[in-house]
Amino acid sequence: MRRLVTVLLGVVLLAGCGVRPTPPVGGGDAPRGVAEGPTLYFLRGGSLVPVVRKIGKLGDYPTALRELFYGVAEGDPPGLTSALPTGGFGELTAGVTQRNTVEVRVLRGDGRPLTLSGAALDQIACTLSARHLAADRVYNVESVIVNEVPRRCPIGV
Amino acid sequence: MSRLLDSLPTWARGLRARLVFAFLAVAALGAAAAAGASYVSARTTVLKYAQDQVMNATKDAVSQLAPELSFPPTQATLDQLVSRLPDSAAVVTYQDLRSRPMGYRLEDIPAELRAAVRTRGTLVFQRGTSPGGSSPMFYVGMPVLTKRAGGELEPSGMEVYLARNLGGPAGQISDLAQTAWQTSLLALPLAALLALLAARGVLRPVRELRGATRRLAGGDLGARLEVKGSDELADLAHTFNDTAAALDRTVTGLQRMEADARRFVADVSHELRTPLAAMTAVTDVLDEEAENLPEDAQIAARLVGQETRKLARMVEDLIEISRFDAGAARLVLTEVDVAEAVRNTLRARGWTDQVTTELPEGVRVKLDARRLDVIVANLVGNALRHGQPPVVATLTASPQWIELTVTDHGSGLPEAVLPQVFARFYKADSARSRSEGSGLGLAIAWENAQLHYGTIEAANAPHGGARFTLRLPRLARGVEEGVPR
């Protein structure tokens, strides 16, 4: 009898009434996405090298791509090269089309798709993957589709 | 448990009250448990919904805005972020910078939470009470992470805090609690009603059993219970019926046997009467002729005469007592002067010289004169036979009773004998098994006194002799005349 009363009392006390205070409780992943600039991938002796282009914010996918097409800048580490054609594209779109796929279209001035070398595709894939991880949390990029050609970044970003 | 029961007031100790209390306790416990469980789950749901909404909305907004935020941020950047968050009542910090206060300040956020945000690097929430202490508050803190090239995610130094008053959900929850309790309270009268019905169902057979038992105890051997159903109480009713039937059989059998025995005695006595009358006549003749007989024959003739008279008296006594047993004895009431009646009795028996009397004159009572004569003759005869002279007969009278005591001056009666003096054929002196009396004299006297609604008591007088006290009510007062026994 006494034990029953104790148990019932315990249950009532545990349940309590109203909204009870708690200690700090973890509530999941924190948001991300602030950065001094997008991470771009250039080549040095055939391997991919990350470079943060400090533009004062992370920016969106096209921004990162435009910076990449711009090529190696003055403040960047020495000895870097880019396989992307300089001086030119007519139109550029980039964005997440499925949850782990970034799709890119780069057109020449005459409206035809720009032809890119394998190294250039790697540079684009790695830059866009890095951009994806920097802000669009949860999923890693499975593939980057450049002008309908799928490409995966060969290194960890 | 039994001590608990004893401490209850009498009305609460009955089976019905206990059943109802137990039923109510179970119902209350059940209702409370159900209400409590539903309340707790509802509270969890309501709180989780409210909290998740706040956390997710803010997190999504920060995630969306972050890529366009200039970094490292300026005061303007922080203010801009706060203004574009869905709730605005947020504080954004970056190192020593604080966003412009909008509603809450950083100091309103619990230090515990801020420390947890910094050490854990994840989204953290905490519930507490508002600085005033009255309303429940919900606090969320989150660092904004940044990713280095090829490296892990790490805190950028920017942190977002927000506080939200949970007054709305708390009100909703207390409404839920109230509803839950009200619903369970509603169940109690219903439970009480059910308990009363159940108690009635259970207790009705018990009540019937009690009634039947009382009838049985009161002598109604035909008391039986109607057996309904096949539960334990029906079993009990069955057992009761069986017991009552067995008792009925036994008692009826005993009564029949007793009646048979009495009738047998009465019949035998009646049958003996006629031959005895003839024998008495013959012995009377023998007595008269005894002097002419040889000496041996003389002795034999006297012995036969003595024993025959004794046998005749015993048969008369037996017939008398059978009449009492058969309930056939009737009082024939006449107005009698008691002193005169007693003197007549003594004179008729030739005892006047042997008995000292104290008989006040003028005590007139309605009673059966013949039966009074039998009683007095028995008491005095007994005293003369077994006690020592002088034998004293004393009459006293009160408005309700007359009392006649007969005292002898012998050695009195042993204490062990006193209760059995009036039993039939009881001999006080076992050594003298053949006394002159029939052994029925005192029994007959007692029956006669009973017939008058009176008593005879046997006791020892202070000086040692036996004292028999006859107490008779004055019948005209209180007892109606001629009431059959």
Taking alpha carbons only, the member of B371, B368, B385 closest to residue B438 is: B385
List of chain A residues whose C-beta atoms are within 8 Å of the C-beta of residue B62: 31, 33
**Which of B71, B143, B177 comes nearest A30 by C-beta?**
B143
pLDDT digits (tens, 9 = 90+) for A90-118: 778 888 877 778 888 888 878 788 888 88
The reply to whether residue B145 touches residue A31, judged by beta carbons under 8 angstroms, is yes
Interface of B with A in 114-153 (CB under 8 A): 116, 120-129, 136, 140-147, 149-150, 153
Both structure tokens of B397 = 């009278």
Counting beta carbons within 10 angstroms of the beta carbon of residue A135, is it exposed (0 to 12), middle (13 to 18) or buried (19 or more)? buried
Enumerate residues 6+ apart whose C-beta is below 8 A from A99.
Answer: A139
Enumerate residues 6+ apart whose C-beta is below 8 A from B287.
Answer: B301, B302, B305
Please list the pLDDT of chain B residue by residue as tens digits (485 residues). 556 667 767 776 777 888 888 888 888 888 888 888 888 888 889 889 999 998 999 998 998 899 998 888 999 999 988 888 887 678 999 988 888 887 788 888 899 999 999 998 899 999 988 777 778 889 999 999 998 776 788 898 999 998 888 888 888 888 888 888 888 888 888 888 888 888 888 788 888 888 989 998 888 888 888 887 778 888 888 898 999 999 999 999 999 999 898 889 888 888 888 888 898 898 888 888 888 888 888 888 888 888 888 888 888 888 888 888 888 888 888 888 999 999 999 999 888 888 888 888 888 888 888 999 999 998 998 888 888 878 899 999 888 889 999 998 888 888 888 888 888 877 655 544 455 566 788 889 999 998 888 999 988 888 888 899 999 888 654 444 444 44
The reply to whether residue B122 touches residue A27, judged by beta carbons under 8 angstroms, is yes
The reply to whether residue B127 touches residue A19, judged by beta carbons under 8 angstroms, is yes
B59 touches chain A (CB under 8 A): yes
The reply to whether residue B128 touches residue A60, judged by beta carbons under 8 angstroms, is no
pLDDT of residue B478: 44
B181 touches chain A (CB under 8 A): no
pLDDT of residue B186: 84
Q: Which of B140, B146, B152, B181 to mutate to test the interface with A (most CBs of A within 10 A)?
A: B146
pLDDT mean over A39-66: 90
Interface of B with A in 67-96 (CB under 8 A): 67-73
The reply to whether residue A28 touches residue B174, judged by beta carbons under 8 angstroms, is no
Question: What's the one-letter identity of residue B437?
Answer: G
- Is this prediction's pTM over 0.90? no
The reply to whether residue A18 touches residue B122, judged by beta carbons under 8 angstroms, is no
The reply to whether residue A18 touches residue B146, judged by beta carbons under 8 angstroms, is no
**Residue pair A130/B149 in contact by the 8 Å Cβ criterion:** yes
| β-sheet bridge partners, residue B158 | B94, B144
The reply to whether residue B124 touches residue A52, judged by beta carbons under 8 angstroms, is no
Q: Which residue has the higher pLDDT, B192 or A5?
A: B192
Task: List the single residue in B with minimal CA-CA distance to A37.
Answer: B71
pLDDT of residue A15: 52
**Residue pair B223/B244 in contact by the 8 Å Cβ criterion:** yes
Give the count of Cβ contacts less than 8 A between chain A and B: 148
B40 touches chain A (CB under 8 A): yes
Task: List the single residue in B with minimal CA-CA distance to A58.
Answer: B67
Query: What is the predicted ipTM?
Result: 0.84
